[in-house]
Structure 1
Amino acid sequence: MPAALTARTWIDLLSLACIWGGSFLAIRVALDSIGPFQIVAARVSLGALTLWLILLALRLPRPSPRRWWAYLGMGLLNNVIPFGLIAWGQQFVETGLAAIVNASTAVWGVLVAALLLADERLTARRAAGVALGFVGVATAIGPSALTSFDPRSLGQLAIVGATVSYAFAGVWGRTMLRGEPSLAASAGMLTGSSLVAIPLALAVEGAPPASLPASGWAAVAYISVAATGIAYLFYWRILSSAGSGNAMLATLLVAPVAIVLGALVRGEALHGSAYAGFALLALGLAVLEGRLLRRKPLAKDIPPG
């Protein structure tokens, strides 16, 4: 049964939801100035720098050089691939809808874990939660995304692809980074991501412009420092104090924040099907987490976002 939420945990959950919810808006604002691969390169490199400074300042354990291959694989699956797909997709998809689709990460995580891990059997409850989650995503993006190949449909499918990559990252983290201190693993992961993302951005989109508008600088700084660096501090504190079941609540809280910010700042409006899909997805996540049936929550490892 999930642990009770204290006032401090609720503050952490709401803070994390606001930070990650704001990241979708920040990505969309940054896309007005630079390309999606440049965004990813800035996000992971500055995020890595932020975590390294925190580790050094607090004298916490640092990433182990002997696990460079594990960090590199985790960086590809949890950062470079999903961040790139989300940034590319948000060129054509509303901020709120991107966050709703991203909330399906846990659904894919359960399915991929059941396929690849012997101790993550797909029980009837989990199968029901996965089914509800898939129906919710299909409702949110609409059937046309599966039958047409216009930029908007491809953008939505790209974000779905990002959630699948996150799911494989969860399995990688459980098998390759087991026992690694959480912040050290995150710093190593982002460092590995930087080694791939920076050359990729230079090869595909070239160097970023010499000057960016203030909004572009602010968006890049927010995505990198707040949403990719500082957010991990909140996530790991929630995970350690309240458990993975309650940490999953942050995934649900992110989407409403992103929807409101997209409407206020960008004037975006979502169709009713997006909200209906989110309701079904939220129900699926609740079934997966087990709170509705008062069962033990699922274990999760590396966070999305």
Structure 2
Amino acid sequence: MSRRGWILFVAMCVVWGIPYLLIKVAVREIGPAELVFLRTALGAVLLLPIALARKELRASLRPWLPLLIYTVVEIGLPWLLLSDAELHVDSSFTGLVIAGVPLVAAILARLMNRNEKLTAARVGGLLVGFAGVALLLGFHVGAGGVVPMLELVGVVVCYAIGPLIIERWLADVPRYGVAAASLVVGAVLFAPVVVPDLPDLARTVSLGPALAVLGLSVICTALAFVLFFALIAEVGGVRATVITFVNPAVAVILGWMILDEDVTVLTAVAFALILVGSVLATRRKAPDRTADTAPEPVPAS
């Protein structure tokens, strides 16, 4: 990759590695639904001018049903489940579980496309990766409870489905248009429940959670989309997806350094299993450099 490509790659690894930390700080005083609304609304305010300036918004609204489903599956539901789960579990643990997204995506890709071969190496990777996820969930279910574990599993499934929706129904829709429109739709969906309580929230929230919301909206949502699209343009979709394997390490380091969360030998072993399994399960033959059209993931938190 070029120097610009490496800079964008490192920036994205950090930008999509810090949401778990910020969510953990925000939910101390802000409810999950309120957090999702604020993040989508502020993110939409920042991305809408870009989509409008590029004249991409109208085209993104034509396939309204796939866009609505994509918004629910990739933004509304997983962000809500993720925020609620982090009321009970560490941010570093959350980041590690979300690292299992490529494993579920590999299975879904095979179910939807019979040409997607499951070689012995890929099957082995799935088994190794899921062993790592099971190890994490099994040892944390006592501390966090069953419900947060199920919520995180739901987030993993949602994040795996989202790129497949883009690949099948929204592949020809402009990227900034999809990003801006989905955030607007997400904010509208949560508005009836959240908006009446916003005045009370504004009077009671302290500086830390407020800054966490701002960071989630500006850095982890709006800026993340801009950087990610630039990364795709620079290195292609296939290489851009490699950030999925690095983000969890960033989440663990930040949780340990800032929130004083425990990092144990179990954590390291589980992460190694998930990482190796994900790499093997998503491994393909060398792609055609002239037709780099891998599904594009979205911010994994």
Query: So what's the TM-score if we normalise by structure 2?
Result: 0.88
Selected match of 2:220 from 227, 238, 244: 227
Q: What value does the CA root-mean-square deviation take over the aligned residues? A: 2.3
**Residue of structure 2 in register with 1:30 after alignment:** 26
Partners of 2:194 and 2:73 in 1: CA distance: 17
Selected match of 2:104 from 105, 108, 122: 108
**Contact 1:68/1:192, CA 8 A, preserved across alignment:** no
Partners of 1:89 and 1:191 in 2: CA distance: 24
Partners of 1:196 and 1:121 in 2: CA distance: 38
Per the TM alignment, residue 124 of structure 1 is displaced from its structure 2 partner at its CA by: 3.3
Q: Residue type of the partner of 1:72? A: L
**Contact 2:16/2:299, CA 8 A, preserved across alignment:** no
1:124-175 alpha-carbon deviations (Å, 9 max, x no partner): 3432322222112112222563xx6x74442133112101011122222122
Aligned length, in residue pairs: 293
Greater mean deviation of Cα atoms: 114-123 or 262-271: 114-123
**Residue of structure 2 in register with 1:15 after alignment:** 11
Query: Does the residue aligned with 1:47 lie in a helix, a strand or coil?
Result: helix
**Contact 1:98/1:156, CA 8 A, preserved across alignment:** no
Greater mean deviation of Cα atoms: 234-243 or 21-30: 234-243
Q: Residue type of the partner of 2:242? A: L
Matched, 1:70 2:66: yes
Partners of 2:243 and 2:233 in 1: CA distance: 14
Partners of 2:209 and 2:139 in 1: CA distance: 34
Per the TM alignment, residue 253 of structure 1 is displaced from its structure 2 partner at its CA by: 1.8
Partners of 2:259 and 2:37 in 1: CA distance: 24
Matched, 1:248 2:241: yes
Selected match of 1:195 from 179, 182, 188: 188
**Residue of structure 2 in register with 1:238 after alignment:** 231
**Contact 1:63/1:188, CA 8 A, preserved across alignment:** no
**Residue of structure 2 in register with 1:259 after alignment:** 252
Matched, 1:210 2:205: no
Matches within 5 A, 1:127-206: 127-142=123-138, 145=141, 151-201=144-194, 206=197
Identity percentage over the alignment?
Answer: 26
Q: Residue type of the partner of 2:295? A: K
5+ residue gaps in structure 2?
none
Matched, 1:285 2:278: yes
Partners of 1:121 and 1:48 in 2: CA distance: 38
5+ residue gaps in structure 1?
none
**Residue of structure 1 in register with 2:54 after alignment:** 59
**Contact 2:28/2:87, CA 8 A, preserved across alignment:** no
Greater mean deviation of Cα atoms: 9-18 or 64-73: 64-73
Partners of 2:262 and 2:139 in 1: CA distance: 19
**Contact 1:68/1:188, CA 8 A, preserved across alignment:** no
Q: Residue type of the partner of 2:213? A: V
